[in-house]
């Protein structure tokens, strides 16, 4: 049974709900307003403090919360709107910045003119669903009314709230009291309250007075199978008692992640300091044994929000382990390929025939191009995308070291978009770029100083790579389909089969242009 004053208050609200007519709310898109600027700086600071704490209380109350300012006595201006994360919002979109005719929000009008809390019922905008609303005045530094906070709850959730434990309902009132007085301004770092989070309510002596169903589930997984209500936090082998003492000491909410009994938990502690009526203190002391702080202490208790993130952390650990294993695989493959390339280079230096030497060096360059990809993937921290610009530069660096003849200065200038490729495409593209620059160096570099150009173009789902040699011209009868060169055959096969694109080789005013058009991929899918 509830106390007499509480019963009378709830009956009064129910009678008021029955009397308030169900109306259709009409809203007008707000333009620039100076409503806020008319308030003193101290009052604007109070409103900002209320706005900061609004999301947390909306989540715990499972309600939409709106702060209204009056503009000229006819319109109400929505200064802030918090939609709950713990359930579906009553509104399909954010209401902040809207003007509403005052006669369409009667609860705001009543609170504004009476300077007292008021309740009612109406139909929510565009949905027609009945909601229970409760208006609370927000007073400024000098005690004058500056705004109205409206709590809007759907009928089903309002009925469920009446069935919750008395201490939980009181806690919501205390938080609402702290909110409108600006004492919840430092909760912005607290994570949004979700449907899977558990709640504990403790008094000033850190004795558990309420635990939610989700909270019981979390602590059962920690090994506490009995009813924890009435137990001191210091009897639990957890960090709860220390965290509450710390929150009381520093006087501010805090949030930490801890590991307890093999579980990873995020715990948020919110100290409670509200204007609680004397009769309510007496009632809770007699019925629930609530311990109130002695003279000189201000904290009446604390709310603890607990979230079990063990599965998330285990998935992160598994991904990290897989990433480390994948990096090790890439590292070993890279080392093996570099060993093969070194063997081919050693064999090339021993070759007496110049043609055989060049073929061995080209084979070593192709192997090193694949090794570059594995080196890239080794340091991607689990990511499979490779920067095409960086890849082209790495491929060119190893080609320049191994192939460019002594006495010639050949440079490669890379320009254009920074396209990113998945691993399979990056391997094929590395071989393609390797072959094209090899071909340009071996057949197109005539002068001692030559600058090749590699240009990357991004067309959304399509990409293009152009390797331009300004010091060379193709024969007039050149036909890429009839070429017998192994390098161009390799490029054609890779472009067609691995990149889903096309290779063109032609002359223009810039010189010889090798043009590769390819389709970007996301995993195994073509990007559209």
Strand, helix or coil for residue 81: strand
- Cα 193–Cα 196–Cα 201 angle in degrees, nearest 5: 65
Q: State the Cα–Cα distance between residues 388 and 457, nearest whole angstrom.
A: 11
Q: State the Cα–Cα distance between residues 179 and 522, nearest whole angstrom.
A: 47
Fold of 314-526: Heat Shock Protein 90 (3.30.565)
476 Cβ contact partners less than 8 Å away, ≥ 6 residues apart: none
Say how many C-beta atoms besides its own lie within 10 A of residue 25's C-beta: 13
Q: What mean pLDDT value characterizes the chain?
A: 80
Quick check: 526 pLDDT over 50? yes
What is the residue whose two structure tokens read 């936090």?
Answer: 233
Quick check: 2 pLDDT over 60? no
Lowest-confidence segment of 131-145, 370-384, 512-526 by average pLDDT? 370-384
What pLDDT score does 407 carry? 62
What pLDDT score does 403 carry? 66
Selected residue with higher pLDDT from 369 and 520 = 520
Res. 23 pLDDT band, cuts 50 70 90: very low
Task: Assess contact for 368 and 398: CB atoms under 8 A.
Answer: yes
Q: State the Cα–Cα distance between residues 488 and 481, nearest whole angstrom.
A: 10
Same fold, 165-308 and 314-526: no
Q: State the Cα–Cα distance between residues 119 and 117, nearest whole angstrom.
A: 7
Give 428-440 pLDDT, tens digit per residue.
Answer: 888 888 888 877 7
Task: Assess contact for 388 and 421: CB atoms under 8 A.
Answer: yes
Residue 289 vs residues 17, 208, 229, 283, 379: alpha-carbon distances, Å: 34, 11, 11, 9, 60
DSSP 96: T
Domain spanning 12-163 has what CATH number? 3.30.450.280
What pLDDT score does 405 carry? 62
Pick the CATH number of 165-308 from 3.40.50.1370, 3.20.10.10, 3.30.450.20, 3.20.20.70: 3.30.450.20
Residue 54 vs residues 31, 66, 79, 183, 198: alpha-carbon distances, Å: 24, 8, 12, 11, 20
Among 36-40, 382-386, 477-481, 488-492, which range has the highest average pLDDT? 488-492
Res. 277 pLDDT band, cuts 50 70 90: confident
166 Cβ contact partners less than 8 Å away, ≥ 6 residues apart: 2, 284, 287, 288
Tokens of 358: 């060049």
Give 177-212 pLDDT, tens digit per residue.
Answer: 889 888 887 888 888 888 888 999 998 889 999 998
104 Cβ contact partners less than 8 Å away, ≥ 6 residues apart: 23, 24, 25, 26
Quick check: 491 pLDDT over 90? no
Give 141-170 pLDDT, tens digit per residue.
Answer: 888 888 899 998 888 888 888 888 888 888
Give 90-129 pLDDT, tens digit per residue.
Answer: 888 888 888 888 888 888 888 888 888 888 766 655 456 6
Quick check: 9 pLDDT over 50? no
Quick check: 20 pLDDT over 80? no
Angle formed by the axes of helices 166-180 and 278-288, nearest 10°: 150
Q: Is the dihedral of CA 147, 48, 141, 173 positive or negative?
A: positive
Q: State the Cα–Cα distance between residues 149 and 172, nearest whole angstrom.
A: 14
What pLDDT score does 296 carry? 52
What pLDDT score does 525 carry? 54
Residue 164 vs residues 167, 169, 171, 216, 254: alpha-carbon distances, Å: 8, 7, 11, 15, 26
Domain ranges of the chain: 12-163, 165-308, 314-526
- CA-wise closest residue to 207 among 111, 322, 289: 289
What pLDDT score does 13 carry? 36
Q: State the Cα–Cα distance between residues 468 and 412, nearest whole angstrom.
A: 10
Selected residue with higher pLDDT from 14 and 296 = 296
210 Cβ contact partners less than 8 Å away, ≥ 6 residues apart: 165, 167, 168, 171, 199, 200, 201, 229
Q: How far is CA 31 from the centre of its chain?
A: 31
Percent residues over pLDDT 90 in the chain: 9
DSSP 233: G
Res. 295 pLDDT band, cuts 50 70 90: low
249 Cβ contact partners less than 8 Å away, ≥ 6 residues apart: none
Percent residues over pLDDT 70 in the chain: 84
Tokens of 19: 């009397």
For residue 134, list its beta bridge partners.
Answer: 119, 151
> Whole-angstrom distance between the N-terminal and C-terminal Cα of the chain?
64
Give 297-318 pLDDT, tens digit per residue.
Answer: 678 889 999 999 888 888 888 8
Quick check: 35 pLDDT over 80? no
Quick check: 499 pLDDT over 80? yes
């Amino acid at each position: 049974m509830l106390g007499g004053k509480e019963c009378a208050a709830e009956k009064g609200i129910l009678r008021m709900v029955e009397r308030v007519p169900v109306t259709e709310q009409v809203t007008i898109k707000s333009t620039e307003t100076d409503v806020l600027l008319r308030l003193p700086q101290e009052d604007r600071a109070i409103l900002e403090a209320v706005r900061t704490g609004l999301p947390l209380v909306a989540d715990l109350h499972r309600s939409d919360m709106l702060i209204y300012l009056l503009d000229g006595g006819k319109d109400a201006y929505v200064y802030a709107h918090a939609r709950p994360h713990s359930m579906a919002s009553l509104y399909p979109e954010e209401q902040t910045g809207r003007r509403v005719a005052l006669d369409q929000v009667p609860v705001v009008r009543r609170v504004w003119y009476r300077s007292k809390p008021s309740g009612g019922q109406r139909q929510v905008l565009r949905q027609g669903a009945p909601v229970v609303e409760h208006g609370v005045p927000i007073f400024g530094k000098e005690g004058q009314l500056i705004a109205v906070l409206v709590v809007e709850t759907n009928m089903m959730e309002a009925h469920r709230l009446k069935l919750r434990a008395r201490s939980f309902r009181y806690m919501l009132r205390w938080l609402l009291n702290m909110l409108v007085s600006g004492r919840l301004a430092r909760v912005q770092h607290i994570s949004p309250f979700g449907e899977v989070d558990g709640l504990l309510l403790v008094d000033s002596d850190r004795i558990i007075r309420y635990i939610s169903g989700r909270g019981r589930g979390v602590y059962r997984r920690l090994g506490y199978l009995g009813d924890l209500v009435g137990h001191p936090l210091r009897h639990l082998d957890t960090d709860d008692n220390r965290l509450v003492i710390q929150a009381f000491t520093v006087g501010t909410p805090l949030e930490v992640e801890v590991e307890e009994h093999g579980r990873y938990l995020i715990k948020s502690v919110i100290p409670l300091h509200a204007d609680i009526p004397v009769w309510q203190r007496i009632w809770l002391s007699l019925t629930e044994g609530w311990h109130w702080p002695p003279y000189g202490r201000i904290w009446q208790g604390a709310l603890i929000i607990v979230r079990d993130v063990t599965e998330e952390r285990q998935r992160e650990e598994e991904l990290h382990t897989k990433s480390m294993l994948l990096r090790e695989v890439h590292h070993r493959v890279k080392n093996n390929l570099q060993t093969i390339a070194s063997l081919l280079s050693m064999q090339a230096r021993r070759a007496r025939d110049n043609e055989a030497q060049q073929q061995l060096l080209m084979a070593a360059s192709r192997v090193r191009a694949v090794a570059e990809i594995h080196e890239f993937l080794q340091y991607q921290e689990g990511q499979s995308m490779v920067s095409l610009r960086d890849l082209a530069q790495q491929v060119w660096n190893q080609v320049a070291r191994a192939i460019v003849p002594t006495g010639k200065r050949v440079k490669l200038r890379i320009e254009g978009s920074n396209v990113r490729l998945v691993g399979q495409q990056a391997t094929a593209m590395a071989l393609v770029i390797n072959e094209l620059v090899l071909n340009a160096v071996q057949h197109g570099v005539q002068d001692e100083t030559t600058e090749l150009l590699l240009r990357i173009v991004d067309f959304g789902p399509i990409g293009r790579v152009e390797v331009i040699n300004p010091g060379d011209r193709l024969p007039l009868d050149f036909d890429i389909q009839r070429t017998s060169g192994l390098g161009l055959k390799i490029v054609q096969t890779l472009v067609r089969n691995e990149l889903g694109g096309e290779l063109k080789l032609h002359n223009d005013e810039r010189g010889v242009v090798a043009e590769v058009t390819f389709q970007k991929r996301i995993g195994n899918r073509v990007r559209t």
